[in-house]
Every structure is written in C-alpha cells, then in structure tokens.
Amino acid sequence: MIRKNISPRNGWQQKLENSGFLFHTPDGETYWNESVCYELSLKESNAIEDATNALLEICHKGVEAVIERGWHERLGIHSHEADLIQKSWDLDHLSIYGRFDLSWDFKAPPKMLEFNADTPTSLFEASVIQWQWLEEVFPHYDQFNSIHEKLIKRWNEVANRQKTLHFTSLMNHADDISQTEYLRDTAHQAGFQTEFIFIEDLGYDFSRNQYVDLDDRPIEQCFKLYPWEWLSQEQFGKYINLDKTKFVEPAWKRIMSSKAFLPILWELNPGHPNLLPSFFERPTTGKVVEKPFVSREGNQIKIWENGATKLRTEGFSEDSRSIYQAYHELPCFDGRYPVLGSWVVGESSAGLGIREDSSVVTQSTSHFVPHYLSSRRK
C-alpha cells in the first residue's frame, strides 16, 4: 500500500455537497481529505477481502456460541436484551451490513481490531463519495468497492417489499441522518416504499402493542441507526415486540457490538491468523490495549506496557468494564496511521474505506482518505 500526495479537485467541497455529503469539514476541521490517497494492489485488496470473509464466518459462529451457552452476562448484556437477541436469532432476522476495523502491517495477515456490527458509520463516503472521486481523478483504475450494488440487492433478502420500510436516526446528528438517508435511498432503488422518522418521534400504541410513526401508522419493519444497548433501555424499550416490528440491524448484532466479544472470539478461535489475543484480565507483561465493553470514536482507550500506562484517550465511555487486546502496530505513512474499514454487506466482503489519524488510536478527529487499485480496468 502506498500513500500519495495529490491535488484536490477544483471545487471539491461543492461537488461533495451536491452529492449530499455535507459533513466533509465539520466545525472547520478536516474529515474528508482528498489531498492524499492510497494505492493498493489487487493482491492486497484480495487479502483484505479474504480476511474479512473469514472473520465474518467466525463472528457468526461466535454469536451462535454465546446464545447457545448463555454467555450474555460475559458481554455485559442485560436479561431483557438477551430475550430480544434470542428472539431475533430464532426468527432468523438478517443483517444488512457491518464494518471490520483492521490493522495490517503487510508482514502478517490483517488483524481485526474490532467489528462495528450494529451502527457502523462512514458508509456513505466509502460507498458513493470515494467512487465519485475515483471516476473523476483515476477514471481508468478500479476500487475495492461494490458496497452500493450489494446494498440494493441485500434489501430484498432482509425486508418485505410489500410493507413500508421505516428509517430512523437521532435528530441533530448530520452524519447519522446522511447515512440513514443514504441507506433509505438504496432501499428505494430496491423497490421499497420508505419513510423517515427521527428516533425521538417514535410512538408506541399500547392497544396494538406496536411502534407507530407520526401518522399513527404501524412500524412493521425499521432500519435504526441507533444502538441496541440504548434502544432496549429506553422508556418503551421493554415493550419491543419483534413479532410486530422487525428491526435492521437485528438484536443479535448486539453481541458483536460489545468489545467483550473479542476475548470470546479468541477463546473460541485461539491462534486464528486474523485475530489478536484478547482477554478479560489485563496481562502483567507485554503491550496491550484496554477497551471498554462499549465505547465509540476511540474514547477511554488505554495502552499498557509491562503494567504501566503509555497512552490514554479522553472522552465518555458507557461501560466501566474493559477487555484487553494485544497491541498491534499500525503502519505509519508520513506521520499518519491508517485503519482499514472493511465493509460487509449481507454474508460477504463488499469494499474498503480508509481512515487515518495522527494518533495510533483512531478518534473522531480522523480523516477519511480515498483509495484506488493499481491495476487498470479491463
């Protein structure tokens, strides 16, 4: 993989905004960065694809093991959530997407840092925006990116086209709204009737035992860009009836979204080439990364070496419990550390989005950088 300095397109900001990508420079800080790009070989993209498919397979087997063995408490999952997880698994509710964050030093196979399984972000820029960039800047080259086409196809496997498909996210979160609307557009292209409603506006009709929208219409299937650990603990969370409302992502994705899933995966697959050793107890020697069971955007991460703290990030963590994962050095390009966001749609690898940071811990200050494949299109 090669990091290249290039000239941004003239009027790139307006081009992004014309495509609906409004948070390229939030609060004046760079997020989308097209003054650089990454070049990958076809061999490298194939390695990422193979690792992603292998990881997805063991993650699904890991979910099955957690459910069958009743390991919910090990992941910090409450009994009410466990009931929803079991129900969604029994009903065979399908997943639409997810994003593995991978570290790759190009000496050993790519390693899984975590799986953003329930509410993964940076989808719109990975799927559409960097493809548009490619078409204009490197039109004769390809990209590891079939996300858009696979999403359209997947909706017909996940949802019922004869019923309205609602989409919901938080108010006043521009990036969440943009991603949700993008997914809604892919469902519309798949032939679905769709409606958008903010999560704060969801209603509950006790006479029908069902969620309803602002027009009092039943919500029978709903994509939510809102974590299950929040939804299940809301005022009306205890009334969720999966027989009446089918949610995407399904409740069983809650298992994968806990960092506590990492040591369970290692326990079930010791020595797997795409996993890093992970534990519930901190080793007294070596270099490890401490991660809260539930946290976002690199908040409350600690790096330990031989029992001493070497790095600590600030921010809010939703859980005081932590796991410990073997430290794996990210590659460094001109003082930037890239994390490979490898997307899955349905049951297979779908594409790549790269975020880089000046820190070895990727945080909310990271930049999204587009990529292309070095081999020309046929």
Closest listed residue to residue 22, CA positions, set 168, 127, 152, 176:
176
Instruction: Say if residues 255 and 261 touch (Cβ distance below 8 Å).
Output: yes
How far apart CA 108 and CA 331 sit, in angstroms, is 12
Is 177 in a helix, a strand, or coil? helix
Chain centroid offset of residue 333 CA: 24
pLDDT tens across the length of the chain (378 residues) = 999 999 999 999 999 999 999 889 888 889 999 999 999 999 999 999 999 999 999 999 999 999 999 999 999 898 889 999 999 999 999 999 999 999 999 989 999 999 999 999 899 999 999 999 999 999 999 999 999 999 999 999 999 999 999 999 999 888 899 999 999 999 999 999 999 999 999 999 999 989 999 999 999 999 999 999 888 888 878 889 999 999 999 999 999 999 999 999 999 999 999 999 999 999 888 899 999 888 766 667 888 888 777 777 666 556 678 999 999 989 999 999 999 999 999 999 999 999 999 877 776 678 999 999 998 765
First vs last C-alpha separation in the chain: 21
pTM of the model: 0.94
How far apart CA 320 and CA 292 sit, in angstroms, is 6
Closest listed residue to residue 4, CA positions, set 342, 359, 333:
333
Instruction: Say if residues 335 and 341 touch (Cβ distance below 8 Å).
Output: no
Instruction: Say if residues 41 and 375 touch (Cβ distance below 8 Å).
Output: yes
Is 123 in a helix, a strand, or coil? helix
